[in-house]
Every structure is written in C-alpha cells, then in structure tokens.
Structure 1
Amino acid sequence: MASASFAPLRHRGFALALSSNFISSTGTWMQSVALGIFLQSTTHNSLWLGLLTVAAWLPAVIGSPLGGVMADRYSRQRWIQFNNLIQAGTASALAVAALTHHLSAPLACYLAIAEGFCSSASWAAWQSLLPDLVEKDEVLAAVSLGSAQFNLGRILGPALAAITLLVGSPGWCFAANAVSFIVVVVAFSFVRTPARVRVTTKLAMVAETRVGMHVAWRIRGCRNAIIGVGIVAIFISPFITLVPAMAIDVLHSGKVGTTWLVTAQGVGAVIGALTLPGLARRTSRLVVLRGSMAVMAVIEGLYAYSPNMVWSSLALVVLGGSYVGTLTGLNTSVQLHAPAKERSRILSLYVLSLSVFYPIGALVQAALAHHFGVRPVSLVAALSFGLVVAALSFFRPQYWHQMASDPSQLVRSVAD
C-alpha cells in the first residue's frame, strides 16, 4: 500500500513541484488560520467568515475557465509561475496592512478576491500537469499526494501560525505566505515535462471554454464528478469556513482551539491521502469513493454536536480523511476520463463547480449559523447531504459506475 502511494515521487519533476507546493500550502494555511482568527476575534460575526469564503472562491467563476484555456494554450509551468507571483503581491499587501494596523474585514475580502482569482486560474494548470509528470497508473497516487501535501500544510501551517501569533501578529503570517509563493515561482523554473500538442485554434477563449464544457458533459465520467463535487461543496465543505466560529464561540477555545481543529482535519486528510490509494488498488476506486462519502455524512453530523474540543478534534480527523478521499476520487475520475487536448479546460470546470457551490454553501450556512448557531446548521447540512447521496444510489446507481477508470470494463473495475 505504501509503495503504491509514494510511487510518483520517483519522478524528479513531480517531486520538485510537490515539495514547492507543500511550502506554499503551509504558507496558505498560516494565512488562512490567522485571517480567520482576526475576523472572528474582531467582529464576532460568523457572517464575515462566509463573506471571506465568497471573496476567495467566487472569482473562480472567471478565473477557472480562463486558467483552463490558458493552460491548454501555453506552458503550464509558466502560467503557474505568473499567478503565484501575483499572489505573492496580494499576500504582501495583506501583511503590510496588518503590520501597519490598517487591516479591516472589508479590506481582507477585497484582497482575497485578487488572490482567489489567481489561485483558481493556476489550479487547472497544476492538476492537468500531473499526468505529464507521472505514469498513467500513478495518477490516483499523484492526486492523493497532491492532497496530502496540501493537508500536511494544514497541519504545519496552523502550528506555525500559533507560534507566530504567540510572539508576533497576523501580519507576519501573511508575510510568510508571500515568501511561500516566491518559492513556487523559483521551483517551477526547473520542472520539465514531455512535449505536448498545444491548442492553436483561432477560437476565442469563450468558444474554447464552451468546447470544454461540451466535451465534459458528453463524457459521463467527467460530468458525474463535476456534479458530485458541487454537491459536496454546498453541503459539506462549509464546515471548513465555520471552524473558527465553532472553536471560538461554541467551544470557547479561542485561537488555540481554532488551530487544533484545523490541524485535526489536516491530520485526517493526510492519513486518508496516503492510505486510500492503496485501499483503492485492493478493492476499487469507486468503493473508496462511495465509502468516503457515506462516512463524511455521518461524521459531519457527529461533529456538529461534539461536546468538547477532544471529541470535536477526533471527529475532524475522521472527517478530514473521508473528505480528502471524496475529493480525490472525484478529481481522479476527471483526470482519467478527460481527453488530453481538453484536460485543462475540463479540470477548470471541476474547480469551477467547487468554487461556485462552496462559497454559496459557506455564505448560507454562515448566515444561518449567526442566527441559529453552528451546531444545528451543521447537522442539517450533514443530513441533507446524506439524503442526496442516498437518492443517487437508489434512483441512479449508474451514476457511480460511470466514473470507473475504464468505462469498457465497468464490471471488472468494481469487482477487483
């Protein structure tokens, strides 16, 4: 199991890209935790957490399709570097505002818009680069390692943020994030990929995006995964946004509690990312995907009414593992089914689904939590998600099997 999970690391380009992204993820989580604590501590209004999520994710409506087209047209490495350079600038602006005591909740949201746009624009390039860096049978493991590095950052980032906040201020967390983006810019100068056929059509970018949408809708393995991630995003993903509210206002654990909960989710996500690919090889990718979604619904409900920090942290470990198992399974379905020529554009639609429905769900749940409390809102979200998954399984069982890695061998892939 372990050898299968780590096999992609034998490729130098992948290892270099992954390690630089890990440093960037650590910086991102330092900023995310520090900014969440800043907003909740200064406003005591969970609605601002929802608005920050909207500001960070909704720009993907434009950024993600644009990024997909650009990544198919031009060098994916250079596109990633360009966007990380801009993100370094926005993180630097956030740091300066905080260190000079000019940071406000609205300003944080404005800067999040710019950073979110560039993040979504480069995401499709990074994801579509993975199959060019590893062997085809290592794609699931590569996607899982990508999730693992992000969630290792979720563990290390909050810990470093806690230390930084103890001896300094949020501004230094934002400055560290700016430096982490520069690391990516430098590292990707040394990432090499095989020559590929780039899109050289005279079609406008909007027309190219439409072509990608048409192909994604026609290929059910892509379409079902894009729909699936939207369902997860609107019901389950908002628990991430509400972590500071749960820690500070419900569990009364303050900054330390926030970092513990974020870290707990990261621990679970790393465990899931490193173990689930091996489990998928022994059973099937679809078994792991369906199991992860079922566990996610149950644990989200238990987390909603966890009595104290210990039980909340344990619940988030399991929730983190099942959450990354779900997103990895859906992402891999798109990776394996999307034609190479349209891969970036189709992956941009995947992140678009996540980026549209997550902020909508986060804003709605944050607003409801402000009036009714985090616990009941989280419980209703978990129950709603469970009902949707059950309805899919009962009324459209083919939804799952159409995401098999080899559509011509559906029966065998489920039975293996």
Structure 2
Amino acid sequence: METPAAPARDRLLRSFRHRNFRLFFAGQFVSLTGTWMQSVAVSWLVYRLTGSSMALGLVGFASHIPVFLFGLFGGCLADRGNKRAILIAAQAAAMLQALTLAALTLSGTANVWLVVSLATFLGLVNAVDMPTRQAFVVDMVGREDLHNAIALNSSMFNSARVVGPAMAGVLVAVIGEGWCFLVNGLSYLAVIAALAAMRLPPSQPRSNTGSVLSHVRQGVAYAWGEGSIRSILGCLIVTSLFASFYMVLLPVVVTTVLGQGAQGLGFLMAATGIGSVASALLLALRQKGRGLSRWRVISGLGVGLVMVAFAFSQTFWLSLCLSTLLGFCLIFFFAASNTMLQQQSPDAMRGRIMALYSVTLVGMAPFGSLLAGTTASLVDAPTAIALAGGLCAAGVALFASLDRRSSNPNQTCP
C-alpha cells in the first residue's frame, strides 16, 4: 500500500526523471554555491576598501546594468542559436572573470575600479546566460514537468544561497576574500562538465530571417500585447527595483546597526536563502499552476512589509528571522512569476520573454543599487530600506489593482 508521503515525494522530485535535468541540477548547485560565495566576498571587499555605501551601490549597478541594456539581445540569441553551446561559452567567460578577480585580490592589487570593471564584464556574460538558461529548462524536461523544474531550480539556487554565504563568511573572516573568488572560479568546471555530458535531441531548425533588432521588437510587442504578461513584468519591475535595497545595504546594517562582521553578513544572507528554499519546495509540491496569480501578489506585498520590519530591527536574531521570511516571500514571488511567464510563452518566443523576465528581475537592480546607495548617503541604511519596502508594497498593490480592472473592463465603480 502506497504511503501518503510517496505521492508527495514523487510530485516534488518528478523532474529528476530526466537525466539531463539531474546533470544540470548537480552542476549548477556547485557553481551557484561558488557564485554566492563571491557575492558576499565582493560586498565585503568593496566595503573594506572604501567604507562607502555609494561604492557598494556602484558595484551593484555595474554588475546588473548590462542585463538591462543587452538582456533582450541575449534572449534573441537563445531563440536563434544552440542553447547548450551558448551556456558553455558563458560559463567559461564567468570562470575567467572569477579567476582574474582572485588573482588581483590575492596579489593585493585590487581596487574598487578594477572590481567595478570586472563586475561589468560579468554583467555582460549574464545578459546572455540568464535568458538562455531559463529558456533551456523546457529542453531538458518538456512542458509537462516545466512547473516542477522551475521550482526545483529555485530551490537549488537558494540552497546554494544558504551554503555559499555561510562558507564565504567563514573564509573571509579567516583567510580573506581572494580565496572565495578562486573557489568560485573552479566551481564553474562542474556546470561546464554537466552541460557537455548531456544527451540532447538534434536542434530543430529555426527561422533566422530578419535582423536581430526586428526579433527583439517582436518579443517586446508580444509581451506588451498580452495583458497577463504585461502585468507580471510590471510587478517584477517594482519589486526588483526596491528589494535590491536590502541586498545592497545589508553590509552597512550588519556593521553599523547589528554590530556584526563578515560572518554575521554570511549568516543573514544564508537565512534569506533558507526561506527561499522553503518557498521553492512548497511551489515544487504544487501539481498545477492554478492560483499562482493571487499568491504571487500576496508574496509581493509581503516583500515590502517585511523589509519595513527589518529596517526597524535592532537585534541580530530578529533580523535573522525577518531575513528568512523575506527570502520566502521573494522567491515565491519570483518563481511564481517565472512559471506563469513560461507557461504563457510559445516555444519560438521563449528566449525573448525570459529575457524580459531577466531584464525586469535583474536589470532593475542597477537602478535600485544606485538609488539605495544615494538614499543611504542622504539618510541612513535602515531608513532607506524602510522607504524602499513601503514603496515596494504600494507598487505591487497598484499593479494588482490595475490588473483586476483590466481583467474586468465592464466593472463599474459603486
């Protein structure tokens, strides 16, 4: 007799039936653990070199603005080219960036402008890698398991967010930032090997007629013409813009408010990851995507409200709990948005729609980073986070209201 736990386990892990997804999952977990280590170490290096909130914002801007500017071209490349070959090339370029940063830091020659330059280079790589990686999921699992695979990807991403920052906090405190960069560089070998080992069917011939710009315009026109997609992207813009305040200003809050060091920063980021993993696993257990729209809005509102509460926290343990809750709301919102966009995208347009997802998810972060640094320099970091949280909640509520009105055009006001 089948136990109640068995169906739940089968629902949770059904994408692992696919060998290619198992390879991808394992390789990406190793690589993303290194990536999160580098994220913590870069923030700590920049703050150690400059002691400036504005410098943290500048590095965040440099690492994300290329996705905003060139992400749509990366999505067009994904729709027209061989996704696996594109991903292998992108991972090799990211490995080169991490090893260069390690060499500069370990040799004592790193400065903030070199870090900014390398962050910009990595942003260019991500402009191609992110939409291609998102669009590649359906090639590994098919449409039937797409919803589950997206949720499992989110759980893997955020499990790495738990492990990576905790490891970085220890390594930075004991031996310095440079070793985190070196470990990250070597970790890319895992995902490159996984991609190379996949057995994929021959690529279907694609129509590459027309210019790249015309293909980009087609993608934008399709997204704008679909009301649901337009609404999802609008909420993503608001949430991504203001939620970035938390990540950018976290080192400042850890140091000046909570009285912690690099290890405390790592644990707070890990707590955010724990909440994110719990949220992603909850999504993976869902058999269908119905009802996601409502919960997407609720979780978006939660992001803003938890940020406000975090800004007023004066104790490390309360901040740790709030970081966990923030991670839960963030990943539920982003993963639900991702799932809904992929389900509504035709295969020929998937790369460009997921490029718009990347542009709104990551491309807004540079503006959020600069705005966070500027706001914190005018007031202080906790106040900046509180203001951003309030604006985030208000923006999500506004878009949800507009979406309901567009869905009921004949509704009249009482």
Contact 1:216 1:338 in 2 (8 A): no
Pairing partner for 1:163 from 164, 170, 174: 170
What does 1:195-210 correspond to in 2, within 5 Å? 195-210=202-217
**Structure 2: gaps spanning 5 or more residues:** 1-7, 410-414
CA distance in 1, matches of 2:289, 2:225: 30
Deviation at 1:222, TM superposition (A): 2.3
Pairing partner for 1:107 from 114, 122, 135: 114
> Are 1:27 and 2:34 an aligned pair?
yes
**Residues 1:192 and 1:215: Cα distance change in structure 2 (over 3 Å):** farther
Contact 1:64 1:121 in 2 (8 A): yes
Q: Secondary structure at the match of 1:58?
A: helix
**Structure 1: gaps spanning 5 or more residues:** 403-416
Pairing partner for 2:357 from 337, 343, 350: 350
Contact 2:135 2:350 in 1 (8 A): yes
Residue deviations 1:47-69, cap 9 Å, x none? 11111111110011343122212
CA distance in 2, matches of 1:399, 1:251: 45
**Residues 1:244 and 1:100: Cα distance change in structure 2 (over 3 Å):** same
Equivalent in the alignment of 1:13: 20
CA distance in 1, matches of 2:408, 2:235: 13
Pairing partner for 1:339 from 342, 346, 362: 346
Equivalent in the alignment of 2:44: 37
Percent identical residues: 26
Equivalent in the alignment of 1:3: 10
**Residues 1:176 and 1:220: Cα distance change in structure 2 (over 3 Å):** same
> Are 1:68 and 2:75 an aligned pair?
yes
Give the CA RMSD over aligned residues: 2.0
Equivalent in the alignment of 1:189: 196
Deviation at 1:137, TM superposition (A): 3.7
Deviation at 1:195, TM superposition (A): 4.1
- What TM-score does the superposition give when structure 2 sets the normalisation length? 0.92
Amino acid at match of 2:124: F
Equivalent in the alignment of 1:411: none
Equivalent in the alignment of 1:180: 187
CA distance in 2, matches of 1:164, 1:286: 41
Contact 2:245 2:388 in 1 (8 A): no
Equivalent in the alignment of 1:405: none
> Are 1:290 and 2:297 an aligned pair?
yes
Range with bigger deviation, 64-73 or 265-274: 64-73
Deviation at 1:359, TM superposition (A): 1.2
Range with bigger deviation, 276-285 or 237-246: 276-285
Equivalent in the alignment of 1:329: 336
CA distance in 2, matches of 1:399, 1:355: 27
CA distance in 2, matches of 1:209, 1:105: 34
> Are 1:371 and 2:391 an aligned pair?
no
Deviation at 1:134, TM superposition (A): 1.7
CA distance in 1, matches of 2:129, 2:29: 15
**Residues 1:119 and 1:229: Cα distance change in structure 2 (over 3 Å):** same
**Residues 1:273 and 1:254: Cα distance change in structure 2 (over 3 Å):** same
> Are 1:84 and 2:75 an aligned pair?
no
Q: Secondary structure at the match of 1:397?
A: helix
CA distance in 1, matches of 2:291, 2:181: 41
**Residues 1:244 and 1:381: Cα distance change in structure 2 (over 3 Å):** same
CA distance in 2, matches of 1:198, 1:236: 40
Amino acid at match of 2:251: P
Range with bigger deviation, 148-157 or 131-140: 131-140
Equivalent in the alignment of 2:368: 361
Contact 1:228 1:330 in 2 (8 A): no
Equivalent in the alignment of 2:225: 218
What does 1:382-397 correspond to in 2, within 5 Å? 382-397=389-404
CA distance in 1, matches of 2:151, 2:249: 25
Contact 1:152 1:266 in 2 (8 A): yes
- What TM-score does the superposition give when structure 1 sets the normalisation length? 0.92
Range with bigger deviation, 88-97 or 374-383: 374-383
Pairing partner for 2:62 from 30, 55, 59: 55
CA distance in 1, matches of 2:364, 2:10: 35
Count of residues in Structure 1 that have an aligned counterpart in Structure 2: 402
Equivalent in the alignment of 1:126: 133
Amino acid at match of 1:48: A
> Are 1:242 and 2:275 an aligned pair?
no
Amino acid at match of 2:354: L
Residue deviations 1:319-346, cap 9 Å, x none? 0011000001111111011110111011
Amino acid at match of 1:83: A
Deviation at 1:29, TM superposition (A): 0.7
Deviation at 1:399, TM superposition (A): 6.2
Contact 1:236 1:381 in 2 (8 A): yes
CA distance in 2, matches of 1:394, 1:75: 40
Equivalent in the alignment of 1:408: none
CA distance in 2, matches of 1:335, 1:77: 19
Equivalent in the alignment of 2:4: none
CA distance in 2, matches of 1:78, 1:147: 23
